A and B are shown apart, each in its own frame.
Chain A
Amino acid sequence: MFGILIRRGIAGCLVVLGVTTLTFLLLRLAPGDPALRLLGPTATPAQVAALHHAMGFDDPVPTQYARWLGSMARGDWGESIATGRSVRGMLADAWPATFGLVAVSLVLSYGLGLLVGSVQTARAGSRVDTILSVFSVTLFAVPGYWLALMLVAVFTYEARLLPAFGAAGLDADLLPRLGRVVDAVRHALLPIVTLTLIGAGGAARFVRGTMSDVARLPFVTTARAKGLRESRILRHHILRNALIPILTLLGLSLPTLFSGAVFVEAVFAWPGVGRVLVEAVQARDYPVVMAATTVSAVLVVLGNVLADVIASAADPRIRQRVEHV
């Protein structure tokens, strides 16, 4: 178990290193100059050159990359070119917002997916199954940003029930503690519902597929022949065995949910990493893009490792197989 973790850890580090190298190269290949944006249209060539020198852009790209890696490793993530703030501070502010959104909706969407998928397996072939299938394939097809807009149209503009922009109201700091919590929940509700619904469609489809595969296996027939109750067969024989691929997918869907969050944050003006990233790419804010990419690559790799660990914890056979390799 431990050896596997080390091997996966090394592979993960290589992936992160590769992603940062690729991003760095792409950023430098891209047209657009952060210095020009910073100095404005009236800058003289001399001023631009001076700023380039000050930011180290006149060195060869490999040198710049090595310097970035070195300072990143020392914990110095640099300063944002566009805002002058420390990149660490910007990300430290933004990550909790994104992480909360993604974590809550990941749990909710898988809960919903497991529920819908189990009901479908229990009633396979019935009208309920068909209706739920249509429901989940539709949710699966809905783009997150469009669903977000529709929810805003209904709950904000029509019903005037929920706020649609940002993570806190303008008066949040003046509210009593309980009021502040209510305000935060109200602001988080629409983004979380959006991400949960778009995740739940895929999760339900996967749960149903995996469970109906397991339901065809001989030991389920045996359990039925023994006269076990259907609910017990569903929970202990089918669900338990279908859980392993489902848990694996849970880890693998972290990056997908993160991608979804980028679009949903753009709609709700949610102060998370997705928004920081979109703005930074548009402003050619190199240090911010690099840091945000690195952190999200680390998260993706961690998600994959976590999926493996959970899967081997849930299934003794996997544990054995990997230990004997």
Chain B
Amino acid sequence: MSGRSLLRNRRAAFGVTVLLLAIAFAIAAPFVTNGRPAEQGDIVATRFLPPLSTDPGGAFHLLGTDRFGRDLWTRLVYGARISLSVSGLAVLLSTLIGVAVGAAAGYATGPLSLALLAVTDFALAVPRVVLLLLLASMWRPSAALVIIVLGVTGWMTIARLVHGEVRGLVARSFVEGAVAFGARPVRILWRHILPNALTPVIVAATLGVGNAITLEAGLSFLGVGVQPPAPSWGNMIASGRDTLVNAWWVATMPGIALILVVVACTMIGDVLGEGGRVRRGR
């Protein structure tokens, strides 16, 4: 599916727009906010200001303030930096592991392939939340830990997909041709097989980003993810939990941002997946 026809699809256009906007805001954070996500001013005067209000100092708060009088919009945009990059990197990690395992299991024959598939099936059967909780509470919580933990617990679906694709491609004549020319296995995999197996991987990775954003927020919500005062959408929702009764906006706003981005990822993934299916005549 070319870039232009992707944009002609309404769902894809929505997804790409939301995602690009979120990324643009995250990159331009210092210019579109007050630039100080952890700043606490005069707490008594500025805390729990509702959205669209101006504090006594004359500063405007688009989304209101939290219990420490911190500007929610600023924290939301800086939180996007952390949430988006953490989940993007986590998906990158799990995609790399998944492609490596899946390609090896699909190209190799005999015990190596069987062993890799057994490991994949086993990892799929492990209750992921238990593993996440254990891993995340083992070391001091940090963004890097969340990336690693989400990465090493999320590669199995991609490995399965790649394995299936590679198995199907190995028997094709252009691969046999490459073998006949004496190309080495790594070169065959890298140049001839993987480029043809990438579409479902891209789809799965796009959907995976949405999933990773939710899980990152979940870990931060339980207190084992990104630690305050650094803002992430998850720990912002968590901090709004106690003040739900008098300041609903603190927990609501980051949740809406999260849903928008996850919906965007899902829609892009759906459209890409349909495109792949049409092209392969299914």
Partners in one complex: yes
Q: Which residues of A contact B (CB under 8 A)?
A: 15, 18-19, 22-23, 26-27, 29-32, 137-138, 140-143, 145-146, 149-150, 152-153, 157, 255, 258-259, 262-263, 266-267, 277-278, 281-282, 289, 292-293, 296-297, 300-301, 304
8 further interface pairs, Cβ-Cβ under 8 Å (given A19-B127, A143-B217, A143-B221) = A137-B263, A138-B259, A143-B258, A149-B241, A153-B245, A277-B130, A278-B222, A300-B127
Query: What B residues does A296 contact at CB under 8 A?
Result: 127, 130
**A76, chain B: closest CB distance, angstroms:** 22
CB-CB contacts of B244-264 with A at 8 A, as 1s and 0s? 110010011001001100110
Which of B125, B135, B222, B259 has the most chain A CB atoms closer than 10 A to its own CB? B125
Query: What B residues does A143 contact at CB under 8 A?
Result: 214, 217-218, 221, 237, 255, 258-259
- Interface positions, chain B 85-136, Cβ under 8 Å from A, are 121-122, 125-131, 133-135
Q: Are A304 and B128 in contact (CB under 8 A)?
A: no
Q: Are A255 and B267 in contact (CB under 8 A)?
A: no
- Interface positions, chain B 118-157, Cβ under 8 Å from A, are 121-122, 125-131, 133-135, 137-139
**B271, chain A: closest CB distance, angstroms:** 12
Is B210's CB within 8 Å of the partner chain A? yes
**B121, chain A: closest CB distance, angstroms:** 8
Q: Are A146 and B237 in contact (CB under 8 A)?
A: yes
Q: Are B137 and A300 in contact (CB under 8 A)?
A: no
How many angstroms between the C-alpha atoms of A153 and B249 in the bound complex?
10
Query: What B residues does A29 contact at CB under 8 A?
Result: 138
**A45, chain B: closest CB distance, angstroms:** 24
Q: Are A22 and B244 in contact (CB under 8 A)?
A: no
**A106, chain B: closest CB distance, angstroms:** 16
Partner of B221, one of A15, A27, A263, A301: A263
Is B33's CB within 8 Å of the partner chain A? no
Is B65's CB within 8 Å of the partner chain A? no
A-B contact count (CB 8 A): 111
Q: Are A149 and B125 in contact (CB under 8 A)?
A: no
Q: Which residue of A lies closest to B248 (CB)?
A: A153
Query: What B residues does A19 contact at CB under 8 A?
Result: 125-127
Q: Are A267 and B130 in contact (CB under 8 A)?
A: no
CB-CB contacts of B207-246 with A at 8 A, as 1s and 0s? 0001000100110011000000000000001001100110
Query: What A residues does B258 contact at CB under 8 A?
Result: 141, 143, 146
Q: Which residue of A lies closest to B282 (CB)?
A: A213
Q: Are A141 and B138 in contact (CB under 8 A)?
A: no
Is B266's CB within 8 Å of the partner chain A? yes
Query: What B residues does A262 contact at CB under 8 A?
Result: 129, 133
Query: What A residues does B218 contact at CB under 8 A?
Result: 143, 145, 263
Query: What A residues does B217 contact at CB under 8 A?
Result: 143, 146
Query: What B residues does A153 contact at CB under 8 A?
Result: 244-245, 248, 251-252
How many angstroms between the C-alpha atoms of A27 and B221 in the bound complex?
22
